[in-house]
Amino acid sequence: MAAVNGPGPKSDVALDAIRETAEGAVSLVAVYGATAFDLFHVGEPVRESFGSRDELVAHLGDLAKETRREFMERGLFSGLSPVQNSVEYQFERQDGRGVLQVYCGGRGMLLFVDTDEPVEPLVRTASHILGGM
């Protein structure tokens, strides 16, 4: 997908940094902005768990939309507007995988990792990639 949200991180740089940080396997890396997302890596386990690429893209689009809305609403209700160095994240277990979503400066990163993956190092790496901290 085209990066319609302005210049973003280079996929090879982002993938190398995430892989160096992760202790286990990373089966998905996607970066999203206000209106679109870019798939940087889709591992075989993720491909096999979805019927088609369209189904995967629709699922990821829903996740990105939900995350943007949740983080933006949280910022509005707390009286804070999102700033470039503000980093928020959430980690949950879904369908036997860890789903890590990092939101920083209006851009987000979605990672599918092992369920026991240490989250904090990945959040730091993702925030650097996204241009935050």
Provide the pLDDT for residue 6.
54
Question: Residues 56-86: pLDDT tens digits?
Answer: 888 888 877 777 676 666 554 444 444 445 7
Provide the pLDDT for residue 132.
52
Domain ranges for the chain: 11-129
Beta bridge pairs of residue 90: 101
Nearest to 102 by CA among 77, 68, 58: 68
Provide the pLDDT for residue 56.
87
Q: Per DSSP, which regions of the chain are E strands?
A: 26-32, 37-42, 87-94, 97-104, 107-113
Provide the pLDDT for residue 121.
97
Provide the pLDDT for residue 117.
96
Collect all residues with Cβ–Cβ distance below 8 Å to 85 and sequence separation of at least 6: 104, 105, 132, 133
CATH no. for 11-129: 3.30.450.30
User: Residue 106, SS3?
Assistant: coil
Q: Is the pLDDT of residue 125 over 70?
A: yes
Question: Residues 8-53: pLDDT tens digits?
Answer: 678 888 999 999 999 999 999 988 877 777 889 999 988 888 888 8
Q: Phi and psi of 59, rounded to 5°?
A: -60, -45
